[in-house]
Each structure stands twice: as structure tokens, then as C-alpha cells.
Amino acid sequence: MAINYIEVGPAYGRDYKTGAAALADWAANKDFTVYEGAPYGVKTNKSDCDNMKIEKVIIRYNRNTDLIVAS
């Protein structure tokens, strides 16, 4: 079964006040925690998602209350 989207949030206690900050760390290939679309709690990053050909990445930020689409 192919995963066509994934929802992630900051890993290792990080948080982002803005979507731009979250996207910058995503582009920098930092780790994020999977919330939906794959096993919960697994760490992933942009390279992993590119390799798995995931079509859409949704990033949670601002204490996990806001969302932004990375790809």
C-alpha cells in the first residue's frame, strides 16, 4: 500500500511559532515525528519522504495547533 500523505510534527521537544520556521527545518532535513499516515511516533525527514515518494507532507506547528503543507 502506497502512502500518499503523511502528517508530522516537530521531534525532540522542538516547536515552531510560524509555518515558515517549520518549513525551514523541513527543508534542512531535520527529523519530525509521524502523527498520521505511517506508524505513529516514527521519526522521519524530508529525504525519507522523498525516497518513499510521499505526495503530500502536512506539518503541525505552534504547539501542534496549526498546519502547513510542505509538499
54: left (phi over 0), alpha (psi -120 to 50) or beta: beta
Q: Which domain holds residue 47?
A: 5-69
CA distance 21 to 1: 32
| pLDDT score, position 4 | 87
| Three-state secondary structure call for residue 17 | coil
pTM reported for the whole predicted model: 0.89
Split into its structural domains, the chain has a count of 1
Which residues fall within 8 angstroms of residue 25, CB to CB, at 6 or more apart?
A: 10, 14, 16
Between 41 and 7, name the one with better pLDDT: 7
User: In this model, does residue 18 exceed pLDDT 80?
Assistant: yes
| pLDDT score, position 37 | 77
Q: Mean pLDDT, the chain, as a whole number?
A: 92
